[in-house]
Structure 1
Amino acid sequence: MARRGLLTPGPPHRVARQFAELHRWKFGLAGELRQAAARSPSRVAVIDESGPTTYGELLDRSSRLAAALPVKPGDRVGILGRNSTAMVTAMIGVATLGADPVLMNTGLSAAQLDAVTQAQDLRLLLHDSSFSPPTGVLFDEIPLGAPLTTPPARPGRTIILTSGTTGVPKGARRPTPGGFSPLCSIIDRIPLTAGVRMMIAAPLFHAWGFGGLQIGLALRATIVLRSRFEPSAVLSVLEEENCPALIAVPVMLQRILEAPYRPVPLRIAAVSGSALPGGLATRFMDRYGDVIYNLYGSTEASWASIATPADLRAAPNTAGRPPHGTVVAVLDPSGQPVPAGTPGSLHVGNEMLFEGYTNGTSRSLQDGLLATGDVGHVDTDGRIFVDGRDDDMIVSGGENVFPSSVENLLADHPAIRECAVVGVPDAAYGQRLAAYVVLHDGAVLEPSAVRDHVRDHLARFSIPRDVIFLDELPRNATGKILKRDLPPITDPD
């Protein structure tokens, strides 16, 4: 905390009030805002398209909203919106009351939105003008009351939806931090400092966007938001707002690389949410400097490991090392640790493991460690590598194959913009690989050239028999590829 500027001296009365507010309101959204407003009330908290809002103003608005909400502590309130000050105000206002904010994915279909509303038993759905759900209320349609100044008996607990691509996404209950340790775990590896100006480009409903908001409030940062991601606009904002830090998901870095270069004051590009494809980290750092920090985790496990620029220079596909207070184990099917270099099931332990799903189910623990659902290994230097989802591995002719290894190889091909590799049924081999490929504008590539590229670098059973060229890959609102929505394979190429 001292290295990141959180223990610098300040006016004694403000420092005393800062810690008093944390003691009263705890370490959730409401408490973090109050400690920031107590210490730095006139500092700009959020800047969006409508302009700046100070910490004092954000506290006043969220407290007045909390007093006026037509719900009671313990109720669940849906929050549906694009990144904005109004959305942040709504999230904090709901938590201030002691109700539970349910962060709704902006990519939900109307049917899914209705199903989630029912499954989460929402008492109210707040939204911005980008959406018009039949039972929702606009963020600014609730008249503000007198500020709510008394902490609830129980802090509001944020619920984040899992990134399910079919059916109804489950709600994962996020725990309220019990102290400074979770923040210290992150800023020990990602050098974010008190008062930093940071742009959160990742959606706030996403676990990493929400995590960025929590970190920003704790650091009394100035948080810059834009309602939509557009790569050239992000570069402009970073320059115009003098932001040295960017919170994003990996596909955003890929899109920024495709935009014309412009110098920006970027020192930290912290990403999470999906694997860094191929040599993306190296290409991005070659252009913008050694700035990438890659956090590997999940909605359920929070974080597992963080890769620094030095880690990514040494091994571009690494997920890094566990930060302070986190344990990662690679286990075999019997629950025993495996040697370095041997694939196994990745398990994580830290104080921010989720508290279970809102439908009453949870995930089993192995000696206090939660399975991430990924298969991976650790090298002799202690770096973690994610080989793929445990349900993505296919068996082709008796050989185990992870599609991600082929994806990483193809992503580095100069003609290929992005790709997805999946397993499909095969009469002779049980399963085979199919590659869906998007080319850069003007590039030309034959299916045989794709196969030859894989043949030159990987084993025979990794060669995709089917190569399908697409104009774009289906993605959800956070940029994750929706493999279930890829066109079905008909006849082999």
Structure 2
Amino acid sequence: MAESISGRLRAAMARYASAGLTAITIPETVGYGALRDTIDAYAAGFHAWGVARGMTVGVIAPKSLAGIAAYFGAMQAGACACFLEPGLAPEALAEQAEVVGMRHLVVDETLIERFTVPALAALAIKPLAAVRGEGAYVDEALGPQDNAMLLFTSGSTGRPKGVLLRHGALICNAEGVLSHTGTSPEDRLLHVMPLHHTNGVNNQLIVPFLAGASLILADRFKPEIAIEHLRRDGPTYMTGVPTIYARMLPHLTDGERFPNLKFLRCGSAPITPALHEQIEAAFGVPLVVSYGLSEATCTSTMNPPKARKIGTIGTVLAGQELRLFNPVTDAPAPEGGEGEIRITGPALMAGYLGSTDQPIVDGWLRTGDLGRFDADGFLAITGRIKDVIIRGGENISPALIERQLATHPAIRDCCVVGAPDADLGEVPVAFVVLREGESLDEAGLKDFIRGSLARIYVPAQIRSLDILPTNGVGKTDRKSLRSLLAA
């Protein structure tokens, strides 16, 4: 079992248990021995439930020992584990489950009533406590090519699709991040990001557990609470998106310093050099910017904590290969020139579930992002081919909002684009063409979207146009709409 991420974690936890190390300090103190035993017990419970290798198991839980242990227990039993968003509507969860063939779901006792509904009748659902078994179960035959983790993304189509990751991909990502950051048992991570986000699991559970570090688990991000943890509990590092740090700034005392804090990590969304410098000045430590996609497990480039370069996303992690290509001709970009970022290596996903889309061509993941290397091998993002809007680190599909708006009786045509936002990085703005005789009711349209989609999908603005601009092939010209916003 040594070449599965489950085997790596179990062996590491045994070593750290022998050394008396603590895995979780808040909200409760959990030693590495207790964590390992709880994962073993959940693995035994899943095995007794009939969960076998290759099956997909969903987990809905807050950040807790039980939720984390159930997740890794399912993986250790051979299942493909998936943290699901606790705020998901049951109908949306049913669609995700159908797309990926998920048949088993475990839910924290405090949330289970919301998911015991007819829409989820096709799922076998149990509360967390009912799944925990006795003793231990380990699928010893697990290897790098077995499925380990499932993540959901909507991409540019607005429909759910599963990103399928194998054990070898998780190992590759973890080794690269450990090498770049030097995480060790002396480290303590303040964990504020959601577990259904790839970073929340891969870099903020797997990496610190492999390193023997300890975790402070903050179930939901609130700037005041995060700062109180920094003041009181002595984390050595924290990971977030630009919006998280921007929202913490007003709550900091001028000149305040946190003696144990070594650096802050940042990714999942673009950050301006001005905000980067502001965050470093306020916290008094380096802000380490990284870059990655769920389709390549999590992280592909990262700034070294002791040698970061503002305005870049860092250098390529060990075990991965990243090159720039002309997105039209597929020719390699000239040295120092701009090109589409493409990634290859063991960290790539096995593929999408529920989609015929295939961004991996000839072994290379086409990211849709444009970049340029400097002479020292640091990569900078120069633009984005794709239209996905990144709001505070969360990917928003314009098509999902457009699909909903198009069902409103007053709307004849619509297009949603991202607009720069000082707090969130980007926010959606909708341009609509109204039917004859209709007038723009912006508040009413926002309420209409809010009735079916999560709060993050509600456009910051809705503007009316007589006609949407089109390009040479008749497609809506999103670039022109962005220019209109800029003007």
Calculate the TM-score normalised by the size of structure 1: 0.72
DSSP-derived class of the 2:278 partner:
helix
Partner of 2:325: 331
Cα 1:252–1:179 shift into 2, 3 Å = closer
Partner of 1:88: 68
Partner of 1:14: none
Cα 1:241–1:39 shift into 2, 3 Å = same
- Give the deviation of 1:423 after TM superposition: 8.1
Partner of 1:32: 9
Cα 1:30–1:195 shift into 2, 3 Å = farther
- Counterpart CA distance in 1 for 2:141 and 2:375 is 49
Partner of 1:199: 190
2:285 aligned with 1:305: no
- Counterpart CA distance in 2 for 1:355 and 1:377 is 27
On the 8 A contact 2:428/2:458 being kept in 1, the answer is: no
- Give the deviation of 1:360 after TM superposition: 6.6
Partner of 2:402: none
- Counterpart CA distance in 1 for 2:340 and 2:233 is 43
What does the per-residue CA deviation read over 1:21-80, in whole Å, with 9 as the maximum and x for residues that have no partner?
xxx34341353133322443432112332x111111111112112212223212211012
What does the per-residue CA deviation read over 1:80-126, in whole Å, with 9 as the maximum and x for residues that have no partner?
22322221111111011111112213343332112112222222211
Q: What one-letter code is carried by the residue in structure 1 that aligns with 2:55?
A: D
On the 8 A contact 2:187/2:214 being kept in 1, the answer is: yes
2:153 aligned with 1:147: no
Q: What one-letter code is carried by the residue in structure 2 that aligns with 1:256?
A: M
Cα 1:28–1:361 shift into 2, 3 Å = farther
On the 8 A contact 1:68/1:144 being kept in 2, the answer is: yes
Q: Percent identity?
A: 20
Q: What one-letter code is carried by the residue in structure 1 that aligns with 2:187?
A: V
Aligned residues: 402
Partner of 1:115: 95
- Counterpart CA distance in 1 for 2:91 and 2:35 is 34
Partner of 1:170: 161
What does the per-residue CA deviation read over 1:306-358, in whole Å, with 9 as the maximum and x for residues that have no partner?
1246765x5x3321221233322221111112235543211112321111112
Partner of 2:225: 233
On the 8 A contact 2:181/2:305 being kept in 1, the answer is: no
Partner of 2:21: 43
- Counterpart CA distance in 1 for 2:191 and 2:217 is 6
- Counterpart CA distance in 1 for 2:338 and 2:138 is 52
Cα 1:391–1:296 shift into 2, 3 Å = same
On the 8 A contact 2:16/2:32 being kept in 1, the answer is: no
DSSP-derived class of the 2:353 partner:
coil
Cα 1:343–1:215 shift into 2, 3 Å = same
- Counterpart CA distance in 1 for 2:273 and 2:130 is 46
- Give the deviation of 1:363 after TM superposition: 2.7
Cα 1:179–1:66 shift into 2, 3 Å = closer
| Equivalent residues in 2 for 1:191-340, closer than 5 Å | 191-212=182-203, 213-261=205-253, 262-264=256-258, 265-302=260-297, 303-308=299-304, 314=309, 316-332=310-326, 333-340=328-335
DSSP-derived class of the 2:352 partner:
coil
DSSP-derived class of the 1:174 partner:
strand
Q: What one-letter code is carried by the residue in structure 1 that aligns with 2:50?
A: V
On the 8 A contact 2:5/2:171 being kept in 1, the answer is: no
- Counterpart CA distance in 1 for 2:324 and 2:156 is 27
- Counterpart CA distance in 2 for 1:337 and 1:484 is 39
2:385 aligned with 1:390: yes
Calculate the TM-score normalised by the size of structure 2: 0.73
Partner of 1:488: 462
Which 4+ residue blocks in structure 1 deviate beyond 6 angstroms?
421-427
Q: What one-letter code is carried by the residue in structure 1 that aligns with 2:301?
A: S
DSSP-derived class of the 1:246 partner:
strand
Question: Which one of the candidate residues 426, 435, 447 is aligned to 1:420?
Answer: 426
| Structure 2, unaligned runs of 5 or more | 389-416, 434-445, 466-483
Cα 1:426–1:122 shift into 2, 3 Å = closer
Q: What one-letter code is carried by the residue in structure 2 that aligns with 1:68?
A: G
DSSP-derived class of the 2:318 partner:
coil
Cα 1:483–1:378 shift into 2, 3 Å = farther
On the 8 A contact 1:420/1:483 being kept in 2, the answer is: no
DSSP-derived class of the 1:372 partner:
strand
DSSP-derived class of the 1:147 partner:
coil
| Structure 1, unaligned runs of 5 or more | 1-23, 394-402, 412-416, 428-469
On the 8 A contact 1:105/1:205 being kept in 2, the answer is: yes
Cα 1:421–1:30 shift into 2, 3 Å = same
Partner of 2:50: 71
- Per mean C-alpha deviation after superposition, the further-off stretch among 53-62 and 351-360 is 351-360
- Per mean C-alpha deviation after superposition, the further-off stretch among 351-360 and 52-61 is 351-360
- Counterpart CA distance in 2 for 1:25 and 1:362 is 33
